[in-house]
Homo-oligomer: A and B are copies of this chain.
Amino acid sequence: MSTPEYLTGKKEALGEFIAKYDVFLFDCDGVLWSGDHLFPGVPETLDLLRSQKKRIVFVTNNSTKSRQDYRKKLESMGIPATVEEVFGSSYSASIYISRILPQSHPEVKKRNKVFVVGEAGIETELDSEGIPHIGGTDPKYRREVTPEDYKLLAKGDPSVLDPDVGVVLFGLDFHFNYLKMCYAYHYIQRGAVFLATNMDSTLPSAGALFPGAGSISAPLVKMLGGKEPMSFGKPNQAMMDAIEGKFQFDRAKACMVGDRANTDIKFGLEGKLGGTLAVLTGVSTKEEFLEGDTRPAFYVDKLSDLLEGA
């Protein structure tokens, strides 16, 4: 396996690196910012790429925000962006549910309501595709389980289990609880398709790690004897196909930039992009990138190190 090339401080190599690609796909958390803390020099770095007519796409596994929310977040941090430049895992999942699932699972045509375990971003993207949904941010599901719940769920009573639900979609849910686990399990046991926006085990914030969407669906995986959900975030290639479908770019002239070996870098490598660039401001360590199974072509200490390649 080849050793990733370290570009920080190497002006000429940085210039060549930038010149080589037309499209830069950016992971956001851990690359552009951590939580609400924007890394210094990031807006300037993106300005530099834009000034050289590079196409920029923000690819995020964060399911709690819709594309609109993400555009607003980017803008509030001083990074101008359009909704079309944002690809999120909730959007990716919604596209799949509305366009692909009815083909592969004909029963979903009749029962196309989604039980959501997640935040508003998922609901917004499902709405944008016209998919009916329940659960999600509905306060009805933010409470303790009662003896009555057990009885009604056990007998599949339609007053609690909506017969139109054919899909259970998990994302990151800050309001995850025992009751939602019960509902999700009983819908899946009654034939609903088990999906997850993404399988990131952790979420970087404030310079540390917190539970990610993959940890929210983990109890269901355990209850189902190890059965994993179909998922749509990086490194799943459903998202790469959607991005390519939209922008019609040449994969050989595209570079994925990210902080996680097993999601971002894997996403770029499996997508057969021309390049992959790792930054050391997020989850994976230098050792993981240099000695692990999934190695980027290039790495820098931080994204703004690219400025020296101007």
Q: Which residues of A contact B (CB under 8 A)?
A: 35-36, 144-145, 147, 150-151, 153-155, 173-178, 181-182, 185-186, 189, 201-202, 205-212, 214-216, 218-223, 225
Bound Cα distance A206, B225 (Å): 21
Cβ–Cβ contact B182 & A178, under 8 A = no
Copies in the complex: 2
Nearest B residue to A145 by beta-carbon distance? B174
Cβ–Cβ contact A206 & B154, under 8 A = yes
Cβ–Cβ contact A219 & B216, under 8 A = yes
Residue of A145, A189, A208 most packed against chain B (CB within 10 A):
A208
Nearest B residue to A182 by beta-carbon distance? B210
Nearest B residue to A177 by beta-carbon distance? B177
Cβ–Cβ contact B201 & A222, under 8 A = yes
Nearest B residue to A212 by beta-carbon distance? B223
Bound Cα distance A57, B184 (Å): 35
Given A178-B174, A185-B210: A223 in contact with B215 (beta carbons within 8 A): yes
The list of the 3 closest CB pairs from A to B, nearest first, reads: A154-B208, A215-B219, A154-B206
Additional 11 contacts, C-beta under 8 A, given A211-B223, A215-B220: A145-B174, A150-B210, A151-B206, A175-B178, A177-B177, A182-B210, A201-B222, A201-B223, A212-B223, A214-B222, A218-B221
Bound Cα distance A225, B178 (Å): 23
Residues on B with C-beta less than 8 A from A225 are 201
Residues on B with C-beta less than 8 A from A155 are 206-208
Residues on B with C-beta less than 8 A from A173 are 178
CB distance from A178 to the nearest CB of B (A): 5
Residues on B with C-beta less than 8 A from A36 are 147
Bound Cα distance A206, B155 (Å): 8
17 A–B contacts, CB within 8 A, in A order: A144-B174, A150-B206, A150-B208, A151-B206, A153-B206, A153-B208, A154-B205, A154-B207, A155-B208, A176-B178, A182-B211, A186-B208, A211-B219, A212-B223, A215-B222, A218-B218, A218-B221
CB distance from A225 to the nearest CB of B (A): 7
CB distance from A9 to the nearest CB of B (A): 29
Bound Cα distance A122, B145 (Å): 19
Cβ–Cβ contact B211 & A181, under 8 A = yes
Bound Cα distance A225, B262 (Å): 12
Residues on B with C-beta less than 8 A from A175 are 144, 177-178
CB distance from A117 to the nearest CB of B (A): 12
Nearest B residue to A210 by beta-carbon distance? B182
